Amino acid sequence: MKPKKIIAIVAIIIICVVVLINLLKTELWEANEKLLRNGIISIEQTVESVNLLDVTPFEWDTVYTFDPYTPKDKIYETVGYKWDNIRETVSEGMNQVVFMKDAKVVCYIYGYPDNNGYGISFSGETINNIAEMLKVNDDLTFQVIRSDDVIYLNNW
């Protein structure tokens, strides 16, 4: 085989491997959302309240929840960070929760609690009239509310 063909074949194989790795790679915020979901869903039936730190199996320092219909650019501006796959909520009752660590997104929750199997709602410091924010050193006691097959965490 000619050296040019060998080089071309090796280059194609390397490109294919790199593309495949990128397609299979799970973002940190996606992996942490799955861990969070598992942590919340596994809360025992008899538990009436939890500390948010006990169900977040990842490190975070700030968490935001955004009002319905908040535009992407306002979310980016509020958290000070842009990341892929953010979506705007399209109706009332949807969760839009962003956990941050060292100014980076480490967990992102989006969607209806009925679809996700859980929901998180909280009242904290109001930011830009579009979001509520809690810090890791705030009171993180959340009431556990079960409704059908959905678990809600509320701190109100």
Q: What pLDDT sits at residue 153?
A: 94
Which residue(s) pair with 50 in the sheet? 142
7 located within any domain: no
Reference 61, options 31, 120, 106, 29; nearest CA is 106
132 located within any domain: yes
10 located within any domain: no
Q: What pLDDT sits at residue 24?
A: 44
d(CA 97, CA 100): 10
Q: What pLDDT sits at residue 17?
A: 55
44 located within any domain: yes
11 located within any domain: no
Which residue(s) pair with 62 in the sheet? 100, 135
Q: What pLDDT sits at residue 80?
A: 86
34 located within any domain: yes
| pTM of the predicted model as reported, rounded to 2 decimal places | 0.80
Rounded (5°) CA angle 13-18-23: 125
pLDDT tens, position by position, 36-80:
999 999 999 889 999 999 999 999 999 999 988 888 888 888 888
Range of the domain at 105: 28-154
d(CA 110, CA 99): 12
How many other C-beta atoms can be found within 10 angstroms of the C-beta atom of residue 5? 9
pLDDT tens, the chain, 156 aa long: 677 777 666 667 766 555 444 444 457 878 999 999 999 999 998 899 999 999 999 999 999 999 888 888 888 888 887 877 777 777 888 888 999 999 899 999 999 999 999 999 998 888 888 899 999 999 999 999 998 889 999 987
103 located within any domain: yes
Q: What pLDDT sits at residue 11?
A: 62
Q: What pLDDT sits at residue 142?
A: 95
110 located within any domain: yes
Q: What pLDDT sits at residue 33?
A: 92
Q: What pLDDT sits at residue 138?
A: 94
d(CA 128, CA 139): 21
Domains in the chain, number = 1
